[in-house]
Structure 1
């Protein structure tokens, strides 16, 4: 019985065609809280399947349906789940590991969580202790970051207006969602807010362990210095990458074959991604090209695998049979070559592309 409970908690569905997954009740979202839909079921039947949310002809999510049925954050999560063009069967995977495969270590972690819940039993709700900094209110995250006089001192020193609506925003996560999605704030401003909040939390922990309480100016100074160091480090890294790219040259494929280069871009402010594909022959002539903007927001790995899949579908449509698929994602390259297990979020698309490759005469993969 204990083993069954462990397995039940540790597995979730990976979406293929969605025909076996109930929208409400089954675990299929790639979110580690419950993996289940929290949005209320309105007019649809309890037995409605995820396949009803997928356009079976284009193998894409029905975006308008998602926006109408689910909370905005859940709709965005669903849109970010890659769908393979082959629409394979749904599959149960181990949710506690990145690659979806069972490991003893992850099972032990789940078992310990279950044991802790049993040991603790039902408990009465206890209010948070009174804030040690001001002694005025309970020390919630909202109080620590916004309403505490010490927090207001920090934001005053920063000279940054943080739009906090106490009726809607109860946590740092709520604030970040509001700034990024609802108000489309500049990413640098949001990063500054996060860094300042981290500085306050860090100093709070220092005080708890006998350290010195810093004033608002010191916290702002520390956070600003940290951000400057981070920017400098990333700029140096960017310069090194540009130098590496400048030093490399495109190499042609073997005679009578073609090389396909695909790449992607993420437009976070527009909640969209873009993919581009270019096809060259063995002397470097451009034979075909295409680009597409897709109104869904995907992660870096997910949009890279989409670029690969769209590239393969493109060359299949124009009748190319001998090709080299070249891209800059090492994760996707190694997965396509069966050198490593792909992340569970893109495994179904990887499998679909590997099956598609059997329809070509010769396919090779190259990483740049």
Structure 2
């Protein structure tokens, strides 16, 4: 911005916005407009609008959705000859994002078999074989048995070449139909050295993942702290209007891990009433044909809200159900 001869006052205002809120701006002479994130305070909005001399776009999502993609999401929206420069710019940004995005298969109802990137392959995340007549509009859910929640092996091997069929069958499925997700925090794991395996390997259970990280990557503590920070970030966004950029997850997790180790090293060992060291408590699986329910809750008195988490495991320690309210 300095090289482009922007004024120092404007740069300071813009950098303040970058550090605290997200925004979008279209510079096109007299057509320049700006859109602010909901977390932006009115004082900051007024400063920036006054410095730039541009109007603010209100009801940004509602305007574009009703006009350009009323019956689908932004991911399926198509270009329009009547679209403004702002709308075409949004689509170009969407296309750049999708080049590196991958669907995580849940129910499969939102994922197009032929058009979306959903395979666990870095080189070929999309189906490369020719579309089979009669299956042009097939969703990934059509390849999953709705009762057993398992892949329809015979159907898959009949539709796809052996190599693609094996890649599809290697994708793990949940025992319950979950919502398909296009991950938004993939960059968090991409920045952790040693976690490149997540795009290439599949694990049948969380226990297998932990065992792999413990023996191969040898960075289990950081993985656990990153998971906690991701969970904490999700709660912060859900229960408050505070901004928590995904780019801050890894630095905050590393700092929290450093603080945790420092405090643990400085604390004396815990003892019982007799002065004997307390034995560490370990989770143990329930007896055969039984289930164990673990739960935890938290209350937020300032917000008048509470949260509850429940996880149910079988005798092998596998998670059979979970709840978050």
Q: Specify the TM-score bucket, using the shorter chain as the normaliser.
A: 0.3 to 0.5
Normalized per residue, the structure richer in strand is: 1
Q: TM-score, normalised by structure 2?
A: 0.35
Normalized per residue, the structure richer in helix is: 1
Compare relative contact order (CA 8 Å, sep 6+) and give the higher one, 1 or 2: 1
Q: TM-score, normalised by structure 1?
A: 0.31
